[in-house]
Structure 1
Amino acid sequence: MKRVLIVDDAAFMRMSLRKIMVENGFEVVGEAENGKEALEKYNELQPDIVTLDITMPEMDGITALKGLMKLDPNANVVIVSAMGQESYVREAVMAGAKNFIVKPFNKDHVIKVLNSL
């Protein structure tokens, strides 16, 4: 069972992703509201996958992604972003993100992306 850390400043998004993952055999080991919290929880929880929002307070997703890749160059990070943030998604992939999911997300696509890791 793959262990996932969900990072998004919107509680509703975290709850939606958690529901999809749990219903499809993933273990959600933690949640974070911003990039700073994500780095702390990654060290503590050592998840197999991180879903990472781009636009967040305190530390954005791109900065957090770069920090995660320094902690673990093999980290499986999936960017979850809203439509219209394509330039950020490109930057994230170049910084080490393995894939991305566009909000509003489709449940089947989320599972397909997570299973590909």
Structure 2
Amino acid sequence: MSKRILIVDDAAFMRMMIKDILTKNGFEVVGEAADGIQAVEKYAELKPDLVTMDITMPEMDGITALKEIKVNNPNAVIIMCSAMGQQAMVIDAIQAGAKDFIVKPFQAERVIEAISKALG
């Protein structure tokens, strides 16, 4: 059975890129969200196996959304996505419970490696 993934990024182009990588590698993209508020709502609704979460977004950033999701779902598997130069935020995310992080622009091999590792 394919693993169900929720993609969270405020840039539609980035969501499309990562969705393309995931679907080509046998993962099922069950939903997309453009900000942290949508991410928290969609997580509760869809119960995905894994979330790819952008760090910098309007309304609610990825780290806040990560913490919100973890409150109700301590076992949530979340991988953060960030541009170069956001190392401090990545450390915050890992401390808040993120499993891994992927640097943009996405490299297919790295995305699949991080997701496979996070899902065990």
Shorter-chain TM-score category? over 0.9
**Secondary structure of 1:31 counterpart:** strand
Contact 2:18 2:106 in 1 (8 A): no
Distance (whole Å) between structure 2 residues aligned to residue 106 and residue 33 of structure 1: 21
CA displacement, residues 41-92 of structure 1 (integer Å, 9 cap, x when unaligned): 0000000000000000000001001001102001000000000000000000
Q: Given the alignment of the two structures, is residue 113 of structure 1 paired with residue 92 of structure 2, yes or no?
A: no
Distance (whole Å) between structure 2 residues aligned to residue 11 and residue 68 of structure 1: 22
**1:29 paired residue number:** 30
**Identical pairs, percent:** 61
Give the aligned length: 117
What stretches of structure 2 of length at least 5 have no aligned partner?
Answer: none
Q: TM-score, normalised by structure 1?
A: 0.99
Q: Output the TM-score relative to the length of structure 2.
A: 0.96
Question: What residue number does 1:102 align with?
Answer: 103
Report deviation, 1:105: 1.6
